[in-house]
Amino acid sequence: MNKNLIFAGVLSFITLLFIIENNFFVSEKPSTIRGLEKTSKSTQERFNAASILSSELKRMYNIFETNLVTKENQIDKEASIEFLESLTDIIEKLNIAVLSIKPQKKVKKGKYTYIPYDLDVRCSYEKFGKLVNALETNDRLIQIDEFKLLNNVEKISKRKGLNDLMNHNIEMRISTISINK
């Protein structure tokens, strides 16, 4: 019986010691770790947002710098060769047939100079969508003033090949926009 009492006393002492240690030393640690995890996640989200904003600001700065008229960068001249080369590269990359490209006279409106181009191409709807997307993501500011899809019903009645049915003549008027100082 004496051994049982000693065993029960030692077991009670160890249990009491475990409860005291758990309450005063260990119990704060898991909540501290959870708090640090939340702080870390919040900091990581802010860092990611700042990183995205930084890359977008760099892109906006590059677009602004590319389209600003300076003494070194005379992009407000009519029929810019660099732009025409860029445009033809985009069109060739998309495998679109060019029927004509006609530069028009530039128009100054306030702080902006618009240089219009009449563009006639032959392509499918899908390629036209890719062309519009490529123009939109170009470093030059490009405005699509208007476009006309020439989709004749006569095509179906002539029963040409499937390729002729899928491709359409498209007339576009686009304008490059330059920012004057």
Provide the pairing of β-strand 168-179 with 107-109. Answer: unpaired
Do 90 and 52 reside in the same domain of the chain?
Answer: no
Residue 18 is assigned to a structural domain of this protein: yes
Do 53 and 90 share a domain, yes or no?
Answer: no
* Domain identity same for 88 and 171: yes
Of 64, 89, 116, which residue constitutes the final position of a domain?
64
Q: Enter the pTM of the model.
A: 0.62
Residue-wise pLDDT tens for the chain (181 aa)?
788 888 888 888 888 888 877 777 766 667 777 788 888 888 888 888 888 878 777 777 777 777 777 666 666 565 578 888 888 999 999 999 999 999 888 888 888 888 899 999 998 889 999 999 999 888 888 899 999 988 766 555 555 556 667 788 899 999 988 887 7
Contact between residue 52 and residue 155 where contact means Cβ atoms under 8 Å apart: no
Task: Assess if residue 70 is contained within a domain.
Answer: no
**Are 91 and 161 members of one domain?**
yes
Q: Structural domain of residue 45, as residue ranges? A: 2-64
